[in-house]
């Protein structure tokens, strides 16, 4: 029987690693290459690395850095940030990355999912939906590090992504990002009922019990976290960690 994947999620800003709280208040964590080396030793299931600058600044992916990350990684690697064309995606795959993650592009140009899926297979194409509550309590999709709101309906968008050939869906709660008080299960209950592709959840994990609860609720699911695997203790000292026998 397949088991759930437990996935550290790392954010790149100015070529270094940072951790955010509700997509703000960036805290520097360290060098991305050294962090990948540590996660290699800890034999993590999979690693997700997201460049949070590229799309906002209108830059192409940092292929030189991606090349270094892929060469160093001894685990399946998912990379996202700034990918706007199938040619860029193809170049990233040729560098040795197993999956590419599309966020703003997936929402605004879902046709690209079909192009990449037809090129490499749907299993290598991930769509990341950043979702937050509006002042009226309604869940909304946001892009560009939560600076822009997408007017479309979440259910319609998920159906469209699946029809286009996305192989995995990542649901990232903006409101729970970096807070470390548990996942947004109200949001996840809603989304879980809508999707027929593998689902990974992100945003809010503060303890191993949060991960265990998510797996028990949703069974086969990817469980991602950032702060949990880079901070230690109530004062959040930076310590890259990944416990053995996590599930």
Domains of the chain: which residue ranges?
A: 5-238
- How do 231-232 and 222-225 pair as beta strands? unpaired
Q: Is 115 helix (H, G, I), strand (E, B) or coil?
A: helix
Predicted confidence (pLDDT) per residue in 102-161, tens digit: 999 999 999 999 999 999 999 999 999 999 999 999 999 999 999 999 988 999 999 999
Superfamily of domain 5-238: Aldolase class I (3.20.20.70)
Q: 83 and 61 in contact (C-beta within 8 Å)?
A: yes
d(CA 243, CA 247): 10
Q: Which residues of 44-68 are buried (b: 16+ CB within 10 A; e: fewer)?
A: bbbbbbbbbbbbbeeeebbeebbbe
Predicted confidence (pLDDT) per residue in 43-89, tens digit: 999 999 999 999 999 999 999 999 999 999 999 999 999 999 999 99
**Is residue 234 pLDDT above 90, yes or no?**
no
pTM of the model: 0.95
Looking up tokens 């560098």 gives 95
Q: 174 and 131 in contact (C-beta within 8 Å)?
A: yes
> How many Å from the N-terminal Cα to the C-terminal Cα in the chain?
14
Mean pLDDT, all residues of the chain = 95
Catalytic residues: 130
Residues 6+ apart with CB under 8 A from 117: 124, 125, 164, 165, 166, 167
């Amino acid at each position: 029987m397949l088991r759930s994947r437990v996935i550290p999620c790392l954010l790149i800003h100015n070529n270094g690693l940072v951790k955010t709280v509700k997509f703000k208040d960036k805290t520097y964590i360290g060098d991305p290459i050294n962090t990948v080396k540590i996660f290699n030793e800890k034999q993590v299931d999979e690693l997700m690395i997201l460049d949070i600058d590229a799309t906002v600044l209108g830059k192409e992916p940092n292929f030189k850095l991606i090349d270094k990350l892929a060469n160093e990684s001894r685990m399946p690697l998912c990379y996202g940030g700034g990918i706007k064309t199938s040619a860029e995606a193809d170049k990233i795959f040729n560098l040795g990355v197993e999956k590419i993650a599309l966020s703003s592009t997936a929402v605004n140009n879902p046709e690209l999912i079909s192009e990449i899926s037809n090129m490499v297979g749907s299993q290598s194409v991930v769509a990341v939906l950043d979702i937050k509550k509006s002042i009226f309590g309604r869940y909304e999709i946001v892009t560009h590090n939560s600076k822009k709101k997408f007017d479309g309906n979440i259910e319609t968008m998920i159906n469209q992504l699946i029809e286009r050939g996305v192989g995995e869906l990542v649901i990232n709660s903006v409101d729970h990002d970096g807070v470390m008080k548990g996942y947004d299960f109200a949001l996840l209950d809603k989304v879980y009922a809508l999707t027929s592709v593998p689902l990974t959840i992100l945003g809010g994990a503060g303890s191993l019990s949060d991960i265990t609860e998510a797996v028990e609720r949703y069974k086969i699911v990817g469980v991602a976290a950032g702060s949990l695997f880079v901070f230690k203790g109530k004062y959040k000292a930076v310590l890259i960690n990944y416990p053995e026998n996590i599930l």
